[in-house]
Amino acid sequence: MTEPDTRPQQVIRGGHVVTAHDEGAFDVGITDGRIVAIGAPGTVTADRVLDARGCIVMPGGIDPHTHIAWPLASGGTGHDDFGSATARAAAWGTTAVIDFVPGRQGSLIAAAEERLEQAGASVIDYTLHPVITELNAERNAEIAQLISMGLSSFKVYTTYDSRMETADIRRFIRVAAEAGGLPGFHAEHHALLTDALAATRTHGPTTIPRFPQSRPGHTERASIREIVGFAEEFDSPVYIYHVSGLDAFGQIQEARSVGVDVRAETCAHYLVHDDSAYQRKDGWKYVITPPIRSQHDRDGLWQAVADGTLNAVASDHCCYSLADKSAGFQDFTAMEPGAPGIASRMPMLWNFGVNSGRLTTRQFVDINSRIPAETFGLGDKGRIEIGADADIVVWDPDASWTWSVGEPETANGSDYDIYDGIAGHGRPRYTLSRGRTVFGPEVSGAGHGQFIAQRIR
Ligand SMILES: [Zn+2]
């Protein structure tokens, strides 16, 4: 523990602090957005004092997968913007998000600059994963340029109209690896999905209860197997978005066992819900790709979250409205897959993780902050340590909540919510982004968020 040379500008006092190496009763001093002191209770003094008595003081959460103000297939965009969505994230403890540069024709650099300008309205810090939909000489050069700009992690779709075919996936991994980036994938094998959907159709209608069988786990497994093969060939790290269950995760573990650097996230909805949701009257809400899987898969994912073999728990937030989803109420093939979840991610992870005895506080901090910061090269984020960014949440474990779609306080920003009605406890008293209070009394965070230049390796 270090005593401050000079008096910090503010101190978080009286909390139970989860530092990078330790856990206990400490005061945390902050100056100019950085942590400058961690000392025994009462030893750090400052003009501004945040009362953390009864609270856990931990690094803010990192959500590595959001689609804020996202272009929808039906036209228009999701019903939020970077200002409102990140304010909701901050209100529930998240202090950094990684969103995307939508894939498109033309200059990817221009697309990235446009998206960075939009993201400038954020309340918390942010970076972006560029989506790559095609490869050519220009794209290859742009990938290297994006990495030098600090946009170092990418996303490629293996299905949908914007997908890359096998030969391009292999080429992309080689190009990204040579440039020092982290190639990432929405991994569902397109040909096998086409086959599974055809089989589903021969046995009945494409109604919501039959959605999961149209996208079985083996399609994820096959896609990941292909990707990790190329990762091994080019000695490249790879990232797998939204791992839904044990078919996918088992393939990742197999690849790791032979030395491939596979990093992967799951999402809050795969941890909170199981596939019985599709049998419900409002089963349409849960049409998300890949689908939510069985209770057995859910248990396996929780184990991987606890032991840190997954790298993050993301929201995959996409702010559809009920009207956007309604086209597919009777036919899942007509529905835009996805759900809002940027605010609920962290309280759900806490409630179903720590409160349910599945995670210790340390394991929660690892999966929610430390590991994602390391995975994506987010520099001084993800830990409470002298010199680190003061991205800190003062978390009241006793504060109870009932997630209610109609309440502004608990909203993910839409008029429907897959967590509606769930009750739990644990929420922020304060959220600080580089020392600035972005949630709590005396909030002063609008437009405070800054771009984080990633340094993957
Ligand atoms: Zn997504």
Pull the structure tokens for residue 165: 């075919």
Quickly state the pLDDT bin for 140 (edges 50, 70, 90): very high
- What 166-174 contacts at long range (C-beta under 8 Å, 24+ apart), as own/partner pairs, is 166/226, 168/134, 168/135, 169/226, 169/227, 169/230, 170/230, 170/233, 171/135, 172/132, 172/135, 173/227, 173/230, 173/231, 173/233, 173/234, 173/236, 173/238, 174/230, 174/234, 174/236
Please give the pLDDT value at position 160: 95
Quickly state the pLDDT bin for 393 (edges 50, 70, 90): very high
* Mean pLDDT across 46-71: 97
Please give the pLDDT value at position 105: 85
List the domains of the chain with CATH numbers. 10-58+386-400+419-439 (2.30.40.10), 60-375 (3.20.20.140)
Tell me how far the alpha carbon of residue 288 lies from the centroid of ligand 1, in angstroms: 9
CA distance 391 to 382: 8
Instruction: Answer with the residue of higher pLDDT: 407 or 119.
Output: 119
CB 437 within 8 A of CB 443: yes
CA distance 256 to 159: 24
* Mean pLDDT across 369-389: 98
Quickly state the pLDDT bin for 164 (edges 50, 70, 90): very high
Residue 270 C-alpha from the chain's centroid: 13
Q: What is the mean pLDDT of the chain?
A: 96
CB 375 within 8 A of CB 367: no
DSSP 389-434: B--EEEEEEEEEEE--TT-GGG--SSS--TTTT-EEEEEEEEEEET
Tell me how far the alpha carbon of residue 64 lies from the centroid of ligand 1, in angstroms: 10
Tell me how far the alpha carbon of residue 66 lies from the centroid of ligand 1, in angstroms: 6
Tell me how far the alpha carbon of residue 417 lies from the centroid of ligand 1, in angstroms: 17
DSSP 105-125: SS-HHHHHHHHHHHHTT-SSE
| 3-state class (DSSP) for residue 70 | coil
Could you check whether the bond before residue 290 is cis, i.e. omega within 30 degrees of 0?
yes
Quickly state the pLDDT bin for 447 (edges 50, 70, 90): confident
Please give the pLDDT value at position 132: 97
pLDDT of 68 above 70: yes
Tell me how far the alpha carbon of residue 342 lies from the centroid of ligand 1, in angstroms: 12
CB 242 within 8 A of CB 290: yes
In this predicted structure, which of 142-146, 277-281, 402-406, 442-446 has the lowest mean pLDDT? 442-446
pLDDT of 410 above 90: no
Please give the pLDDT value at position 442: 76
Pull the structure tokens for residue 286: 């849960």
pLDDT of 4 above 60: no
Instruction: Answer with the residue of higher pLDDT: 256 or 73.
Output: 256
| 3-state class (DSSP) for residue 56 | strand
Which residues are registered as beta bridge partners of 23? 18
8-state DSSP, 449: -
CA distance 238 to 263: 6
∠330-223-262 over CA atoms, to 5°? 120
Tell me how far the alpha carbon of residue 292 lies from the centroid of ligand 1, in angstroms: 14
CA distance 423 to 400: 8
Tokens 């992309």, residue located: 172
Tell me how far the alpha carbon of residue 127 lies from the centroid of ligand 1, in angstroms: 15
Tell me how far the alpha carbon of residue 406 lies from the centroid of ligand 1, in angstroms: 25
pLDDT of 165 above 80: yes
Tell me how far the alpha carbon of residue 391 lies from the centroid of ligand 1, in angstroms: 24
Tell me how far the alpha carbon of residue 158 lies from the centroid of ligand 1, in angstroms: 13
Tell me how far the alpha carbon of residue 30 lies from the centroid of ligand 1, in angstroms: 35
Tell me how far the alpha carbon of residue 317 lies from the centroid of ligand 1, in angstroms: 7
Tell me how far the alpha carbon of residue 257 lies from the centroid of ligand 1, in angstroms: 27
CA-CA distances (angstroms) from residue 96 to 173, 228, 254, 450, 456?
26, 28, 31, 10, 16
| Residue-wise pLDDT tens digits, 73-121 | 878 899 999 999 999 999 999 999 999 999 888 999 999 999 999 999 9
| Residue-wise pLDDT tens digits, 281-333 | 999 999 999 999 999 999 999 999 999 999 999 999 999 999 999 999 999 99
pLDDT of 3 above 60: no
CA distance 274 to 236: 33
pLDDT of 5 above 70: no
Please give the pLDDT value at position 2: 53
CA distance 402 to 422: 6
Tell me how far the alpha carbon of residue 202 lies from the centroid of ligand 1, in angstroms: 29
Quickly state the pLDDT bin for 423 (edges 50, 70, 90): very high
Please give the pLDDT value at position 6: 79
Please give the pLDDT value at position 443: 80
